Amino acid sequence: MKPVNIKSKFALFKDQWSPKVVGELNGQQVKLARLEGEFVRHQHEQEDELFLVIEGSLEMEYDDRVETIEAGEFVIVPRGVYHKPIAKREVKVLLFEPASTLNTGNLDHELTQRNLENI
């Protein structure tokens, strides 16, 4: 039951599109990730997904629009909704989602991360 310092956790890694687990509760995981460039368009059939932007600006591309999420803002992507995160510059995000959630959702892709590192 110690506080987690997000800034210190981000200092432990530099790799992008590779979420790190920093906490777990009620079958959910709290993850940190660095994002830059375009990710793959995907959906999660069973899980909702929360993106909280810690630093930078994230674009979330949906089928019908693009939303910009700024530092201090979050978006919840409902299950079944196709989305594509885009970061024109490096963005630091906190993700909150079920432990079973794969970062590429319904796709098996070269960016799929199956065994996430706990930091």
% of the chain exceeding 90 in pLDDT: 76
Examine residue 72 and state whether it is found in any structural domain, yes or no: yes
Count of the separate structural domains present in the chain: 1
Examine residue 32 and state whether it is found in any structural domain, yes or no: yes
- β-strands 57-61, 117-118 pairing: unpaired
Residues 79, 46: Cα–Cα separation, whole Å: 6
pLDDT digits (tens, 9 = 90+) for 42-93: 988 899 999 999 999 999 999 999 999 999 999 999 999 999 999 999 999 9
pLDDT value at 6 more than 90: yes
pLDDT digits (tens, 9 = 90+) for 59-70: 999 999 999 999
Examine residue 1 and state whether it is found in any structural domain, yes or no: no
Domain CATH code at residue 27: 2.60.120.10
- Domain, as residue range, for 44: 6-118
pLDDT, position 88: 97
Sign of CA dihedral 105, 48, 74, 96: negative
Question: Which helix (H) or strand (E) element contains residue 6?
Answer: helix 6-10
Examine residue 97 and state whether it is found in any structural domain, yes or no: yes
